[in-house]
Chain A
Amino acid sequence: MSLKLPIYLDNNATTPCDPRVLEEMLPYFAEKFGNAASRNHPFGWVAEEAVDYAREQVAKLVNATPKEIIFTSGATEADNLALKGVFEMYSSKGNHIITCTTEHKAVLDTCKHIEKMGGEIAYLPVKADGLIDLGELEKAITSKTILIAIMYGNNEIGVIQPIREISAIAKKHGILFFTDATQAAGKIPVDVEADGIDLMAFSAHKMYGPKGVGALYVRRKSPRVKVTAQMDGGGHERGMRSGTMNVPGIVGFGKACEICMNEMEAEATRLSTMRDRLEKGLLQMEEAYVNGNTDHRLPHVANISFKYVEGEGLMMGFNKNIALSSGSACTSASLEPSYVLKALGLGDDLAHSSLRFGLGRFTTDEQIDYTIKAITETVLKLREMSPLWEMYKEGIDLNSIEWAHH
């Protein structure tokens, strides 16, 4: 079988829509186009029924009840709603929120906004492997703390935080626990009951559903959690999120959740086997390092630094044929290397040298073979061109050189 290029290994950024999902969605654009809020005619009923069914599918994936699912435009909105909504709703109890430095920008920037509104945020550091320190978490709690916001699985390094331990600490202190499970839901078992989660954000387009739809889980029982709406209007989603429902998107999200639920176990095994093979293949090269904890990691993610070559230059060697991302500064508008890798204590040089691999449902063994070969060739070629590699090989300590910083 001939290999089709380019290969997509950036499934943490977004996943392709599964054809089974797309098929389920199609009737809801033109034929069953009703507004789910139209209570008094069949067009509305059909749409409402479809949304109700999807809500069940979504709830089931994470062991929630349908009423606990609030549909949003994605995880960014769900993160905003959870953080700002709790901050407003519980302002009489306190104004302190604990999060960590490796969260997605949708959480970090929302926290920055909350600080401007008078909130106080504690940003926990992470250990060298990307996990938070539970002792530090407990120490950060004050009498004003209303929320702990720690993500489930990290989007850059795939590290899975100790969710159950965190929720136990939250419970012990009577604090709500919110987790951004955008990268974890649908990939590994996420169970809001067993995990003790009070609020949780996730998104369809990271699990083979469509873009522009996601959900916030809001616990209804023990405790009953409430959030102040951040979108005012017609009072949809029990007043917590107004706006006409994105029916085709929601239908697709539901189907995507159902497929993930049915296929998760087999898929996780298949992907982690391929991921491990990819990693092993690439680590044949000297001075290549995996970033983040490898025991507590999403099955489809690998983040590797290839010392002495720069990430963007590296990607240029194969980015016509392999799609992935780099933690290098030069690929981002900010010219700063990945803040997640820096939070692990990685030097800027290693952060600049990193690649993130996100395998997915449609990744094949042939693609992995091709990727190992192409990346190895490029790394070796660029090292021949790298003054740092030459110095390393000559035994020169790079830290002993006085670099001209700009």
Chain B
Amino acid sequence: MAYSEKVIDHYQNPKNVGTLDKSKQNVGTGLVGAPECGDVMRLQIEVDETTGLIKDAKFKTFGCGSAIASSSLATEWLKGKTVDQALTIDNMDIVEELNLPPVKIHCSVLAEDAIKAAINDYRVKNGLEELVLDEKKH
């Protein structure tokens, strides 16, 4: 399968690979997927407590090139957004931006799930109620 230029670029020069201190109050961590499915994504956000903006985002992904690219792109989009704005990131935006073919849509769904899981972790840590998320089809 041929990958789009953008997928290749994110794969070769992934943005924001790394780990944030998940014990910190202002860090939210989302871990989604499963090793048996061949894809696991961990996405973290760090929220600036005074401005409410996401000041840092990091990921680590076990998966195909599209999964790596989706999570790399997601971290880029997260930075500078408020937590509520971050919730609006839709997997189809990722599909469009990266030109993912239909068989790779689930990689983008995983990225969206990871964002929401990270946000929920952050919310729970900060005394906010957990959001009930509608399950997307994988």
Interface residues of A (CB under 8 A from B): 308-313, 316-317, 328-330, 333, 335, 337, 347-349, 352, 384-390, 398, 401, 403-406
Contact = CB atoms under 8 A, between A and B. Distances in A.
Instruction: Give chain B's interface residue range (CB within 8 Å of chain A).
Output: 20 to 34
B68 A403 contact: no
B55 to A, nearest CB: 21
Contact of A313 (B33, B35, B37, B68): B68
Contacts of B64: 310, 312-313, 316, 328, 330
Of the listed residues A309, A316, A335, A403, the one surrounded by the most CB atoms of chain B closer than 10 A to its CB is A316
B84 interface: no
Contact of B36 (A316, A330, A349, A387): A349
Given A387-B31, A387-B42, A406 B63 contact: no
Contacts of A333: 103
Nearest to B34: A403
Given A316-B3, A387-B42, A405 B63 contact: no
Of the listed residues A330, A386, A398, A401, the one surrounded by the most CB atoms of chain B closer than 10 A to its CB is A330
Given A316-B3, A316-B11, A406 B37 contact: yes
A326 to B, nearest CB: 10
Contacts of A349: 35-36, 38
Interface of B is mostly: mixed
B65 A312 contact: yes
A405 B62 contact: no
A348 B35 contact: yes
A257 to B, nearest CB: 35
Given A312-B64, A385-B17, A337 B138 contact: no
B65 A308 contact: no
A384 B37 CA distance: 20
Contacts of B67: 310, 313
Contact of B40 (A311, A316, A329, A388): A388
Given A308-B62, A309-B62, A387-B62, A347 B3 contact: no
B85 interface: no
Contact of A348 (B32, B38, B62, B63): B38
B2 to A, nearest CB: 10
Contact of A330 (B32, B38, B41): B38
Contacts of B68: 313, 385
B65 A404 contact: no
Nearest to B135: A406
Contacts of B3: 316
A348 B63 CA distance: 13
B19 interface: yes
B38 A387 contact: no
B75 interface: no
Contact of A390 (B19, B39, B41): B19
A379 B33 CA distance: 20
Of the listed residues A313, A317, A352, A390, the one surrounded by the most CB atoms of chain B closer than 10 A to its CB is A313
B120 interface: no
13 contacts: A312-B38, A312-B65, A313-B11, A316-B3, A316-B8, A330-B39, A330-B64, A349-B36, A385-B14, A388-B62, A398-B35, A404-B34, A405-B37
B37 A388 contact: no
Contact of A387 (B41, B103, B106): B41
A347 B65 CA distance: 22
B61 interface: yes
Given A313-B67, A316-B3, A316-B11, A386 B36 contact: no
A384 B17 contact: yes
Given A337-B38, A352-B35, 12 more contacts: A308-B62, A310-B62, A310-B63, A313-B64, A313-B65, A329-B37, A348-B37, A385-B17, A386-B40, A387-B61, A390-B60, A405-B37
A406 B35 contact: no
Contact of A352 (B8, B38, B61, B65): B38
Contacts of B62: 308-310, 313, 386-389
Contacts of B42: 387
A403 B38 contact: no
A404 B106 CA distance: 14
A330 B90 CA distance: 23
A288 B41 CA distance: 22
Interface in B10-64: 11, 14, 17, 19, 31-42, 60-64
Contacts of B106: 406
A312 B19 CA distance: 23
Contact of A403 (B8, B35, B61, B103): B35
